[in-house]
Amino acid sequence: MGIIEKMKLDGKKGFVTGAARGIGKSTAKAFAEAGADVAIVDLDYDEAQKTAVELAEKTGRKVIAIRTDCTDKKQVDDMVAEVVRELGGLDFCHNNAGICINAPAEEMTYEQWNKVININLNGIFLTDIAAGKYMLEHGGGSIINTASMSAHIVNVPQPQCAYNASKAGVIQLTKSLAIEWAKRGVRVNSISPGYIGTELTLNSPTLVPLIEKWNAMAPLGRMGTPEELESICVYLAGDTSTFTTGADFIIDGAFTCF
């Protein structure tokens, strides 16, 4: 079997959180194009359902939508159970849901801090554990977490201490689970995207004024696209990455190199 055939995800089942749009939608599309059945998990059920229908029509795979608040343990546990029931198993997941609140540290409210940490870190923990428990009991699997280049640098000019801290936590959580589960068949890795031009980012009144500054600092002179994250996620979800665990992949156009 050649490498192209080995890269396929035929017969595999997985879910992506925060998949109604943006990075999550793009990686869910890539998983389905590679042959997997996928659950689109998002708090916005209507948009998740639209995405599920769109991807099912484009790829011919079974794609379902599940509304889930990833900070609610019961909802997360129920979501994993529904994925297993509707798709017939769980081989991989991409835990991608997250938010960012830009506020100077001395002005950030404790409620704002908690919201970012709860979604970006606690939510990843809950989905990792729920998926990991199933995988540990059923022969293994692959977990992919979305961290950020913000775990490695302090972004400027926008102030975002809660986001940076939460994403650094995601990487350490990833490494910790990878060590705990290494001999039990469950691989855990993270991706750390740089600035990515999603529909939300490109149309945000607060972020659009910053894009010119980011691009001026970027070695490639531009933001990345969601599609440029697809191949690494397909690799991590599949069987050619069986020696890859506990790794963080920085996909940032060399932004963190200086």
**If you count DSSP H runs as helices and E runs as strands, how many of each does the chain have, helices first?**
10, 7
pLDDT of residue 32: 98
State the pLDDT at residue 30. Answer: 98
Q: What percent of the chain has pLDDT over 90?
A: 93
pLDDT of residue 229: 98
- Identify the pLDDT of residue 41: 98
Which tokens go with 135? Answer: 């995988």
Q: Which of 111-125, 158-172, 189-203 has the lowest mean pLDDT?
A: 189-203
pLDDT tens, position by position, 21-74: 999 999 999 999 999 999 999 999 999 999 999 999 999 999 999 999 999 999
Active site residue 148: yes
Tens digits of residue pLDDT in 185-234: 999 999 999 999 998 789 888 888 999 999 999 999 999 999 999 999 99
16: left (phi > 0), else alpha (psi -120 to 50), else beta?
beta
Query: Looking at residue 4, what is its pLDDT?
Result: 87
Q: Take residue 257 and report the two structure tokens written for it.
A: 């190199």
- Condensed to tens digits (0 to 9), the pLDDT of residues 127-137 reads 999 999 999 99
Check residue 218 and give its pLDDT.
97
Tens of pLDDT, residue by residue over 10-22, are 999 999 999 999 9
Q: What order of strands is seen across the sheet that includes strand 13-17?
A: 63-67, 37-42, 13-17, 92-95, 141-146, 186-193, 248-251
| Percentage, residues of the chain above pLDDT 70 | 100
State the pLDDT at residue 207. Answer: 86
Q: What is the pLDDT of residue 1?
A: 75
Instruction: Indicate the pLDDT class of residue 121, thresholds 50, 70 and 90.
Output: very high
Catalytic residue among 13, 26, 29, 148: 148
Phi-psi region of 196 (alpha: psi -120 to 50; beta: other; left: phi over 0): beta
* List of residues 6+ apart from 84 with CB closer than 8 A: 13, 90, 134
| Best CA proximity match to 19, nearest among 230, 253, 246, 163 | 230
Q: Which residues pair with 192 in a beta bridge?
A: 250
Average confidence score pLDDT of the chain? 97
Active site residue 163: yes
* pLDDT above 80: residue 168: yes
Rounded to whole angstroms, the Cα distance separating 53 from 247 reads 33
- Residue 123 confidence (pLDDT) above 80: yes
Q: Is 206 exposed, middle or buried (0-12, 13-18, 19+ CB in 10 A)?
A: exposed
What does each C-alpha distance from 80 to 64, 88, 93, 227 come to in angstroms? 13, 11, 10, 26
From 167, 192, 235, 241, active-site residue: 167
Q: What is the CATH number of domain 10-247?
A: 3.40.50.720
- Domains of the chain, residue spans: 10-247
